[in-house]
Structure formats: structure tokens, C-alpha cells
């Protein structure tokens, strides 16, 4: 696939406007999103919304903006785009999100693109929880840091997966949302085994609902 860097980059002003609009949307939506919502998450949310509303041209254009790594507004470093992020999680979980997203983008297959983005969002959530679990049992680990990592993971569910579930199956959405609440309580209480048990049940529920492929772990 030809490089999408440069040609499809937004200007700094355009990115900031989009981010402002999307943050307002989060507040209006009313679901709990705490801490960082990255530009990649914002653009993914926009893309999923465009697909849901049958606005295919806008969806394809939006996802191309963050396919390659891109510069974050007002920051010196860059954020991993969809290509880098999907390749990374595929190596970790033995999945094929990169192929799904790239082929869907080339073929302008909107439903394939939606599935790929949702699957990637789920795996990025698991990636954060893996990092968090790596801190369990380590002396002098800061609880605030652990909670920051937890919310980075939870926001992938709350911002990118939960809205679809809330529209289609609000009972299951509330059940899994409560699982995440209990995971947070377990983290705060230092109940590592309970956290892992709840995380596994959450994973099983999301995989079943979205019919995601199984991962290596």
C-alpha cells in the first residue's frame, strides 16, 4: 500500500478543531472517560461514527489521516498510527488486525474496516492491562500510576466499544461496565487475583459480543 504520510496529514489547526469537537462529544455522550483520550482514539471514534452513519467517503479519509505515524499537536514526539499500532499488537497477540485494516482500507470495505478498528481497540485495551498486571506485587509501585494505566485501558472500551454495545445490548454493556468498576476496586485494594479473574471475564464477554477471534493470551 503506498505511503499515506504527508498527503493525508491534517494541519495543526484542523487537528485541534477536530479534537475540540470530539471532546465535547464525549461530555455530551455521558459515559465515563477519565484521563487521556489520544488523537488516535479521537480519529478512530470519528471513523466508526462515519461508518455507522453510512458516510463512507469521510470514514476512509479520516482513517487515512492516522494510518501512518503522525505528529501530535503541540508536542515534539509522534504517536503511533494504525499501521504501527496494529503491527505491534499482532506480534503480541498473534492476531491479524494490520491485514484486516489495510485490506479493508484498500478495498474501501467499510464493515471490514469497522471490525478491524474495533478489534484493534480491544487489543490496545488488553495491552494496557498487560502492562498494569506487570506491576502487580512489585514493592513501592505507585497506585496513582497503576490507576492511570488502568484508565488508559478502560477508555478504549468506554470510548470506542461501549457506545455500540449500549445501542444494541444495553444490559450486556452495563454488565461489562460493572466488571470494569470491580476491576478498579480490586486494583485499589491490591487484590491481584481478583483483578485477573475479572479481566478474563471481561475479555470473554467482549470477544463473545463482538465475535472477535481468540488471542494467544
Whole-model pTM? 0.85
Tell whether the model's pLDDT for residue 156 goes beyond 70: yes
Q: What is the pLDDT of residue 216?
A: 66
- Is residue 23 included in any domain, yes or no? yes
- Is residue 217 included in any domain, yes or no? no
Q: In the predicted model, what is the mean pLDDT of residues 141-161? A: 95
In which band, very low, low, confident or very high, does the pLDDT at 202 lie, cut at 50, 70 and 90?
very high
Greatest Cα-to-Cα distance within the chain, rounded to the nearest angstrom = 51
In which band, very low, low, confident or very high, does the pLDDT at 9 lie, cut at 50, 70 and 90?
very low
Tell whether the model's pLDDT for residue 31 goes beyond 50: yes
pLDDT digits (tens, 9 = 90+) for 68-112: 998 877 777 789 999 999 999 999 999 999 999 999 999 999 999
Tell whether the model's pLDDT for residue 25 goes beyond 70: no
Q: Is the dihedral of CA 46, 47, 51, 56 positive or negative?
A: positive
Q: Which residues contact 182 (CB under 8 A, 6 or more apart)?
A: 194, 198
- Is residue 7 included in any domain, yes or no? no
Tell whether the model's pLDDT for residue 30 goes beyond 50: no
How many angstroms separate the CA atoms of 47 and 42, rounded? 9
- Is residue 168 included in any domain, yes or no? yes
Count how many Cα atoms sit within 13 Å of the Cα of residue 5 in the half-sphere of its side chain. 12
Nearest CA to 118 out of 81, 162, 88, 154 is that of 162
Write out the residue range of the structural domain in which residue 138 sits: 12-210
Q: What is the pLDDT of residue 1?
A: 43
Tell whether the model's pLDDT for residue 171 goes beyond 80: yes
Number of domains comprising the chain: 1
- Is residue 2 included in any domain, yes or no? no
- Is residue 174 included in any domain, yes or no? yes
- Is residue 6 included in any domain, yes or no? no
- Is residue 215 included in any domain, yes or no? no
Amino acid at each position: 500500500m503506498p505511503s499515506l504520510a504527508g498527503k493525508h496529514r491534517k494541519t495543526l489547526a484542523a487537528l485541534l478543531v477536530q479534537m475540540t469537537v470530539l471532546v465535547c462529544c464525549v461530555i455530551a455522550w455521558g459515559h465515563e472517560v477519565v484521563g487521556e483520550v489520544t488523537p488516535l482514539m479521537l480519529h478512530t471514534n470519528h471513523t466508526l461514527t462515519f461508518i455507522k452513519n453510512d458516510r463512507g467517503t469521510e470514514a476512509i479519509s479520516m482513517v487515512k489521516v492516522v494510518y501512518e505515524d503522525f505528529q501530535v499537536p503541540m508536542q515534539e514526539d509522534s504517536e503511533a498510527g494504525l499501521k504501527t499500532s496494529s503491527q505491534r499488537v499482532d506480534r503480541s497477540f498473534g492476531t491479524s488486525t494490520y491485514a484486516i485494516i489495510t485490506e479493508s482500507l484498500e478495498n474501501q470495505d467499510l464493515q471490514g474496516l469497522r471490525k478491524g478498528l474495533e478489534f484493534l481497540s480491544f487489543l490496545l485495551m488488553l495491552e494496557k492491562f498487560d502492562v498494569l498486571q506487570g506491576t502487580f506485587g512489585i514493592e513501592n509501585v505507585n497506585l496513582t500510576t497503576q490507576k492511570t494505566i488502568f484508565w488508559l485501558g478502560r477508555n478504549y472500551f468506554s470510548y470506542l466499544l461501549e457506545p455500540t454495545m449500549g445501542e444494541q445490548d444495553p444490559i450486556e454493556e452495563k454488565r461489562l461496565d460493572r466488571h470494569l468498576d470491580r476491576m478498579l476496586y480490586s486494583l485499589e485494594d491490591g487484590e491481584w487475583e481478583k483483578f485477573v479473574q475479572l479481566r478474563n471475564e471481561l475479555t470473554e464477554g467482549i470477544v463473545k459480543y463482538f465475535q472477535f477471534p481468540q488471542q494467544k493470551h
